[in-house]
Structure 1
């Protein structure tokens, strides 16, 4: 019996050692299907990630129906709070909340408060948790603890993202992005994607990052 257990342990170690944490391209674009589960209620919508790490830029578009925590509570779209909302990072400085239909925008937080673009190696200290078949692809799972959520990401051998999830340590909140692997495109997105509107000057009235740290 002990011999069998030992063999399984060795196999598990070898399988874990054979996997390498994903290192994502420095710039890419990918579409996703979003799910949010909050205290028994479920919400769905779509969106797109635009990523340009060398220039410290990223844009996360949450399309109509979104209930993103960073977007809510800023009074940028009172008539339609679930309208499309973008989170913009620019030049290693701030993160902005932007409602393009309402043409409203505010500065949510800066680097000093932890609002930065994820590094391509952000999973370097992650733990391997096994594989899943996602939309026909074998995707390797890695998890790492965040400030308020446990973050998990599955990616292919080619470092194409398959699924990102976050689950709160307290309460019944989970969030998932299932990526459209066929839409994954490497290379710097169009410059106009990251343009900050000229009217985006004021600080956001409710800096969400401050709220969760107090």
Structure 2
């Protein structure tokens, strides 16, 4: 009888020991706050370089005015073309070359053209490199990684597709990317400025273009200056 009681006590003690051990192990397996942080912490993503050739349609807004820009980017041939339709206004052409020459012109009966010489060429594909990562935000219905470039521009890239979605200049001028066709190329014949752009008497009559570029030279890199001119931020209001 005594032997049977001793065995029962031993079994009871063994059960209690195993239960205590299981409880200790389960408590130790619960992650702490520091564990959660370390496992979820990620390095800042790298902005995706622009493709060397693409076509994009942009909806632009600034101070209540609106434009549609038909953008053709061609890095291998050193050229960038913005066809700008102002709301109920002029159709403008902004043709830029990597040697710093830009032609702003119309193709209507007014035959307007202004030839501007910048110290920089077009944006390089990795112009956003070195930007300050701001995290993720939802914009235009897309979850985006967001970068800021030298307090000049905030750039939103779709997390899923790595395509640009939106960017905003420091002036408040905003672009919404409506289409983005990688590899699309505009035929060479479309890149020729009209003959009246080569009338020397019409060149550089507007020093406000130069002062605009100079005002930025101490604040931003050459690529951002080119970006500013690329989206007609330097066009005077009467053009």
Equivalences for residues 75-114 of structure 1 within 5 A: 82-90=89-97, 92-101=99-108, 102-110=110-118, 113-114=119-120
- How far the C-alpha of 1:96 sits from its partner, in A, is 1.2
Q: Match of 1:53?
A: 75
* Deviation string, structure 1 residues 3-37 (Cα, Å, up to 9, x no partner): 969976x689x44x241112110010010111102
* Deviation string, structure 1 residues 29-79 (Cα, Å, up to 9, x no partner): 010111102xxxx2112122110011110011220239xxxxxxxxxxxxx
Q: Match of 2:24?
A: none
Q: Separation in 2 of the partners of 1:164 and 1:86?
A: 21
Give the number of the structure with larger relative contact order, counting CA–CA contacts within 8 Å between residues 6 or more apart: 1
Kindly indicate whether residue 62 of structure 2 is the aligned counterpart of residue 36 of structure 1. yes
State which of 159, 164, 169 in structure 2 corresponds to 1:161: 164
- How far the C-alpha of 1:132 sits from its partner, in A, is 2.7
Q: Is the 8 A contact 2:156 2:165 kept in 1?
A: yes
Q: Separation in 2 of the partners of 1:208 and 1:22?
A: 34
Q: Separation in 1 of the partners of 2:74 and 2:188?
A: 10
Decide which moves more: 199-208 or 124-133. Answer: 199-208
Structure 1's unaligned 5+ residue stretches are 67-81, 169-173
Kindly indicate whether residue 191 of structure 2 is the aligned counterpart of residue 194 of structure 1. yes
Kindly indicate whether residue 210 of structure 2 is the aligned counterpart of residue 184 of structure 1. no
**Closer, same or farther in 2 for the Cα pair 1:207/1:4, shift >3 Å?**
farther
Q: Is the 8 A contact 2:52 2:73 kept in 1?
A: yes
Aligned pair count?
177
Which structure shows the bigger proportion of residues in strand conformation? 1
**Closer, same or farther in 2 for the Cα pair 1:7/1:210, shift >3 Å?**
farther
Q: Is the 8 A contact 1:34 1:44 kept in 2?
A: yes
Structure 2's unaligned 5+ residue stretches are 1-31, 216-239
Which structure shows the bigger proportion of residues in helix conformation? 2
Greater CA radius of gyration, 1 or 2? 2
